[in-house]
Chains A and B, each alone.
Chain A
Amino acid sequence: MRLILLIALALAAESAAEGRHEAARKAYLDGDSAGALTLWGELAAEEGVSAELLAAAGNAEWRLGRKGRAMVCWERALLLDPGNAVAKAGLRHASSVGGVERPSERWHESYAGWLESDTWTLAALASAWTVLLAWAWPRLRGRRMGDAHHRAALVGATLLALSGPGLWGSWSAHRRAVNRIPDEPLKLTPTQLGEPVATVGEGDVVRTGRRLNGHVLVSLAGGQAGWLREAAAEPVAAEGLPRPLDGAP
């Protein structure tokens, strides 16, 4: 009886959430982007984020003219699901006609896009353990490697070699950030009065390096390198929706 009650409650909660998702989508389609964002924000706080929700929030943010938040949402959605069509369309739109600059993908990042980063990690781990155990198991038992062991080691080594670039590409894709501040100066030195060498537009995606004195070393889409304030550069690899700038330290 108690189990039935719990199942009924869970179904009712899911139905209510589904209703709110539908209401948010309807608000978005009706042009009420601010209202849709409010509803999706509440759902994200309750359920956590998904690639679909992040991509949808990115669309609404873009419509409200908040390039930086939109780019963070889309980039984050692609980390969760490299094949998310909404996020891909959003990024394509922003890059082609929205004036946003995004570093072109390197070969290993394109390769990593075939699978999710966690899948690459698990594949690499499984193949590495296969190679190790195929070599170690006969030794643990005081015997020589047999044909089956050799075959397992070969398969594992092949998988490991294939998953290496995927891991590298995933790691590289995670080390990116989106500039949230319009016309943020790219500085020569990581200091408050560092000489500006270029201007980074809101929503531009940068590759990130080390951090120093409240700044992060970045390279732009054009290859130019310099220091950006940490408060301006929001990392792509982070949890949840984009952080509110008003409360940033």
Chain B
Amino acid sequence: MPAWIALLLLAALAPLAAQDSVRHRMIPEEPAPGQPFRLELSVTSPEDDPLGPAIRVGAELPLMDDIPMRFSGQRMGSFGGGGTSTLMVSAVAPGTPGDHRIPAFAISFATRKVPIPAIAFRVREALPGENLGLARAQLELPDRPLYLGETVAGRIRFTHGEKERVAGVFGIEARGEGVSFRSGISRMDGADGEMVAEFELTPIRAGEVDLRISGISLADPRSGRLAAEMRDRPFVFSRKVRVSRVPEAGRPADWGGAVGNYVAASLTVSNASPMIGETIRMTATLAGEGNVDRILPPEVPHGDAWDVLPTRERRPFRAPGERAFTYNLTPRLPGALRTPPVRLSFFDPEARSYRRLEFTPVEVQVSGQAPRQVDLVTVDPAAPATEIAAAPTPPSKLADPEPTAGSGRERVAPLASSRGLAGANLAGLLALGAGLAVAARREWVARNPGRVARARARREVARALSRLRRAERAADAETHARAAVGGLRAGAAPLLAGQAEALTAEDVLRAAGWTEAARAEAVRSAFRCADGSRFGGRAAPDTLIHHAALAQGLAELRRRLCD
């Protein structure tokens, strides 16, 4: 074999020789559904390349809802030529029998990261009558959308099993970038002494947040044996929570980030009977559930009777769920004064609305005399002392007032803002506009008499046509003839510049220019029927047979009047 081939083989096999080997062991090998088991991961490294201690195993173990795991210790030793590091992990088997799998992950040691291949294992069927009697853990969180910046009080409730009881809890932590987590106290609660672990969550990112809370409980077998035989019970809870921003609609201008449900617990003053100018301390204590540590102190403005200066409270959190705000007050006037109002707006996540509370003011009896005159004249502090001493007396001063009785009842609001004045002027303008419109119409009519007569005749012809059709439908020949003659006269009158009542059938025919015999006969027949009684006897009412010709004639007349 050539030398260069041997060198290549050595170079290719060198990494394999230096590779770490990983083995695992489960105790028991086939756990029952829900049974705790221990997983031992042994990593053997080459002799000349030690691993060192594992540094972040707790954070690198995969988080699975059905197989909670917690790192519980590391054992380092040397076997043969290589160094072996054994990591012990406490876990709980899934509740369903069958094949299960822990996905591949990696563990960081002091010198390098070692990949751990996926681990397959089997959960056996529960035996008939088998009862493990294990303790159980249950997560309790508010069943509602969470809000950015609020402090959510959560708890994990541990129920004792028949064969073991939970004696302690430790290592509760949350993974996820969207929340800030703070573990609280653990205590016995309820009639049967259940263990409750409290914690606080503060969402710090809006949107859907994956929340994973894990920890270990210590289970004490109900055997009366020593506490040293307590067993680790890891638990993992995985939830998706919806985090919203606090709504902008209806947000008070003085809202200072308070989210929760609060009450004004108390308002106290350090001295209830100060002198004028003597500073006293006012403490407002807020109580309730919420983000008390994230609230900006409510602003208390200077009043007419008080000078207000905010101050730093030395112990703002005197009790859980309480927050104290402190202010320095200096009275300006003597007498019985009430402390300035302290108001706080907060967002109630349960009601999903903003609310406001006000601390009940305290009465303070201020003694002493108001100053005769406060010197409000300013002096430039940067001016040299000689200039200040030599400064002339102020060139201006207040004039002596002389208010007298009966001079009151004046209004500051301008007359221009009066609605009554605006309404009266608007009404006047409308009336003037209406009057001008009427005058303009009258003038137009006077200037265009023919157009007015035509318009009037057009309306009358239209009405006659309508009457004619109704009479034809009712077979009322007399009304039919009167309607036809009325319409023909009204339509022909403006064309001849004559009086409608004076027109005869021949006048109508001449004005309309109708020469056809059928239409002329229809017109004459209508006139005979309508006006016959005035000239020695009415003709028979036969105009209904000329209805089409008469209606057509009236429609034509109306069209001509539009030209």
Contacts and interface: CB of A to CB of B under 8 A. Distances in A.
B414 interface: yes
B242 to A, nearest CB: 26
Contacts of A50: 403, 407-410
Nearest to B333: A34
A18 B109 CA distance: 96
17 contacts: A24-B403, A47-B408, A52-B402, A56-B403, A67-B376, A94-B376, A98-B378, A117-B415, A121-B414, A129-B428, A136-B432, A136-B435, A142-B442, A142-B443, A170-B414, A202-B302, A246-B303
Given A139-B440, A174-B414, 11 more contacts: A43-B408, A52-B407, A53-B408, A92-B396, A97-B378, A191-B253, A202-B302, A239-B412, A244-B304, A246-B306, A249-B343
B401 A62 contact: no
Enumerate the 4 nearest inter-chain pairs by beta-carbon distance, A residue then B residue, closest first. Answer: A214-B253, A65-B374, A56-B401, A47-B408
Contacts of B436: 136, 139-140
Given A136-B436, A239-B413, A245-B303, A47 B406 contact: yes
B516 interface: no
B371 A65 contact: yes
Contact of A93 (B338, B397, B410): B397
Interface of A: 14, 17-18, 20-21, 24-25, 28-29, 31-34, 40, 43-44, 47-53, 55-56, 59, 62-67, 69, 76, 79-80, 85-86, 89-90, 92-94, 96-99, 117-118, 121-122, 125, 129, 132-133, 136, 139-142, 167, 170-171, 174, 180-182, 190-193, 202, 213-215, 229, 231-232, 237-240, 244-249
A10 to B, nearest CB: 10
A246 B341 contact: yes
A48 B376 contact: no
B398 interface: yes
B399 A246 contact: no
A117 B416 contact: yes
A248 B436 CA distance: 52
Contacts of A90: 398-399
A49 B404 CA distance: 11
A193 B398 CA distance: 39
B396 A89 contact: yes
A116 B92 CA distance: 89
Contacts of A34: 333-334, 370
Nearest to B408: A47
Contacts of B395: 96-97
A99 B302 CA distance: 19
Interface string B528-559: 00000000000000000000000000000000
Given A21-B404, A52-B403, A170 B373 contact: no
B305 interface: yes
Contact of B400 (A29, A64, A248): A29
Given A50-B408, A246-B340, A170 B416 contact: yes
A87 to B, nearest CB: 9
A249 B421 CA distance: 32
Nearest to B299: A192
B308 to A, nearest CB: 10
B372 A63 contact: yes
B255 interface: yes
Contact of B301 (A51, A237, A248): A248
Contact of B415 (A44, A118, A132): A118
Most buried by A among B370, B410, B436: B410
A111 to B, nearest CB: 16
B411 interface: yes
A89 B399 contact: yes
B397 A237 contact: no
A162 B400 CA distance: 35
A65 to B, nearest CB: 3
B410 A48 contact: yes
A77 to B, nearest CB: 9
A180 B402 CA distance: 26
B267 to A, nearest CB: 14
Nearest to B372: A31
A33 B370 contact: yes
Nearest to B301: A181
Nearest to A132: B432
A97 B394 contact: yes
B373 A55 contact: no
Interface string B121-163: 0000000000000000000000000000000000000000000
A40 B306 CA distance: 21
Given A18-B404, A31-B373, A59-B401, A122 B410 contact: no
Nearest to B414: A117
Contact of B401 (A86, A96, A170): A86
Contact of A140 (B372, B400, B439): B439
Contacts of B402: 25, 52, 56, 86
B437 to A, nearest CB: 10
B316 interface: no
B497 interface: no
Contact of B377 (A98, A170, A174): A98
Nearest to A90: B398
Interface in B222-250: none
B280 to A, nearest CB: 16
A38 to B, nearest CB: 10
B97 interface: no
B412 A246 contact: no
Nearest to B375: A65
Contacts of A170: 414, 416
Nearest to A249: B343
Given A52-B401, A93-B396, A132-B432, A181 B302 contact: yes
Contacts of B410: 48-51, 80
B458 interface: no
A134 to B, nearest CB: 12
B301 A140 contact: no
Contacts of B396: 89, 92-93, 96-97
A32 B374 CA distance: 12
A20 B491 CA distance: 87
A141 B256 CA distance: 69
B538 to A, nearest CB: 49
A64 B408 contact: no
Contact of A122 (B304, B338, B398, B415): B415
Contacts of A139: 436, 439-440
Most buried by A among B333, B405, B428: B405
A174 B361 CA distance: 35
Contacts of B409: 47-48, 50
Contacts of B416: 117-118, 121, 167, 170-171
Contact of B403 (A21, A141, A192): A21
Contact of A246 (B304, B400, B435): B304
B254 interface: yes
A21 B253 contact: no
Most buried by B among A55, A64, A190: A64
Contact of A21 (B252, B377, B405, B435): B405
